[in-house]
Amino acid sequence: MKKYPNILILNNQSIYNCNATGITLRNILSGWPAENLCELHMDRKAGENDKRNNIHSEYILDVVPVYYLIRKIHNLLNKTKKNHSTVNDVQGAKNVTSQGNMREVINRLIDVSPVCGTIHWEKYLKGFNPDVIYTCGASVSVMKIALKLSRKYNIPIVLHFMDDWAHYLQNESIIGSKWYKGCLQKYLKKCYVKSVSNFAISPYMAEDYEKETGISHIALMNAVDFEKFYNLSQNSGDSIIFTYTGGLHLERWKALKDVETALTKLKQNGYNVKLKIYTGSQEMIPEDYFDNLITEVHEQVPHSEVNKILKEANVLVHVEVQNPILMGFFKYSISTKIPEYMAANRPMLLYAPQNMKLLEYLCENEIAFTAYEKKQLYDTIEEIITDSGKTTRVREKAVQFVQDNYEVKYVREVFYETICKVTQM
């Protein structure tokens, strides 16, 4: 019978947040006994979800007093004023960007504010005795708290890097970025002293981080319930449906417009094609941006129902945009949806910058169709439609690849073995 160490999960957001990081963490941790898990977070929206999933979870923002006070003020202001900003014109986009930059400056200042000198841990842990701290880091406050816990209980820290925040900020053009990045790196070095093994979101990231630090980094990505996502039959409707699911942040709506343009040309050449976008961020799309004769924009569906959307598709689409501000931060990132796409038994199309590790990863393993420029995008889509032999080979290879590398049992076993090794249990 397996013996499970007690894991203390510590992050800015709860593992039950509905975003991609929350999904990835839930999929990895769902196989761990609830009584061996305890979560400390700063996510004000997470309470009810935590209770439903029977994991002891505590909101600990009050141990960062300045952060806690600002959040309280922000919540009070939101009750009297709701922001309905949409990106409908260039000036509106500039205003939204300026407001976002100012918020980010404030958030960074708050993040480096002092943590309480004395913390009564029993108030939050309620008898839970942790063997290890598991955190995504990416926050000075979170790493300060992790270090306090590590010293208090004499336990190791395991970091899970989802993006390359150790070297780049998501936006380095904002005033004070160099100083804030230095603060992050200072506390990351302190966490590494308490670390013997960590996780990274991709093999390339794990390899590079291990070379840099001399500390073990293991590739651990989103775990997929293969049987849930796998669809044996192919969609045989009148239209060839290209489907994108997920957020439109990081200017992905611009890349999806390029996909639509390529599909429009193919439609003019006699192919009955459609683009379907399922997203919870429709407000990011400029007014009348997409052609409704080609593109349908739908509301995002709950993650538990994404497999149904994938089943209706012929081709699954993922996009990223060439943005020098964002490029470093997301260099190694692998979207949560990528293994889900592969498991769905549908050909995948990635349209992304050539220097992204994700594009290199998919090309190297021959598990997706890829393009990094507009002319190539048209040719690639046409190849997916016309070369059924290659499309079948790529699709079948992706299915096998996800079973070997992302299947939930495999990912959870890698996680279990690493945690047991770290805790010497």
Burial annotation 82-113 (CB, 10 A radius, 16+ → b, else e): eeeeebeeeeeeeebeeeeeeebeeebebbbb
- Is 266 part of a structural domain of the chain? yes
Six token digits for residue 56: 């002891």
Percentage of the residues of the chain whose pLDDT score is greater than 70: 91
Task: For residue 57, give its domain range.
Answer: 7-223+407-423
CATH, residue 103:
3.40.50.2000
Q: Please give the mean pLDDT across all residues of the chain.
A: 90
Q: Are residues 59 and 36 part of one domain?
A: yes
- Is 141 part of a structural domain of the chain? yes
Q: Are residues 247 and 123 part of one domain?
A: no
C-beta separation of 325 from 301 below 8 A: no
Residue 288 is predicted with a pLDDT of 87
- Is 212 part of a structural domain of the chain? yes
pTM: 0.90
Q: Are residues 323 and 237 part of one domain?
A: yes
Total domains in the chain come to 2
Q: Are residues 114 and 64 part of one domain?
A: yes
The pLDDT of 332-355, averaged and rounded, is 95
Residue 74 is predicted with a pLDDT of 63
Is residue 280 left, alpha or beta, with left meaning phi > 0 and alpha meaning psi from -120 to 50? alpha
Q: Are residues 247 and 190 part of one domain?
A: no
- The more confident residue out of 111 and 81 is 111
Given a cut of 60, whether residue 334 has pLDDT beyond it is yes
C-beta separation of 87 from 285 below 8 A: yes
- Is 2 part of a structural domain of the chain? no
Give the model confidence (pLDDT) of 123-157 as tens digits: 999 999 999 999 999 999 999 999 999 999 999 99
Q: Are residues 242 and 378 part of one domain?
A: yes
- Is 1 part of a structural domain of the chain? no
Give the SS3 label for residue 241: strand
- Is 269 part of a structural domain of the chain? yes
Give the model confidence (pLDDT) of 199-251 as tens digits: 999 999 999 999 999 999 999 999 999 999 999 888 777 899 999 999 888 78
Residue 82 is predicted with a pLDDT of 45
Residue 51 is predicted with a pLDDT of 47
Q: Are residues 240 and 179 part of one domain?
A: no
- Going by C-alpha positions, the residue among 16, 15, 191, 12 that lies closest to residue 110 is 12
Six token digits for residue 14: 């709860």
- Is 145 part of a structural domain of the chain? yes
- Could you give the CA distance from residue 323 to residue 333 in angstroms, rounded to a whole number? 14
Question: Quick one: pLDDT band at residue 89, thresholds 50, 70, 90?
Answer: very low
Q: Are residues 394 and 248 part of one domain?
A: yes
In total, the chain counts a number of residues equal to 425
Q: Are residues 53 and 197 part of one domain?
A: yes
Q: Are residues 203 and 107 part of one domain?
A: yes
- Is 385 part of a structural domain of the chain? yes
- The more confident residue out of 94 and 346 is 346
Q: Are residues 259 and 207 part of one domain?
A: no
The pLDDT of 177-184, averaged and rounded, is 97
Residue 84 is predicted with a pLDDT of 44
Place of tokens 């009348």: 288
Q: Are residues 303 and 190 part of one domain?
A: no
Residue 97 is predicted with a pLDDT of 58
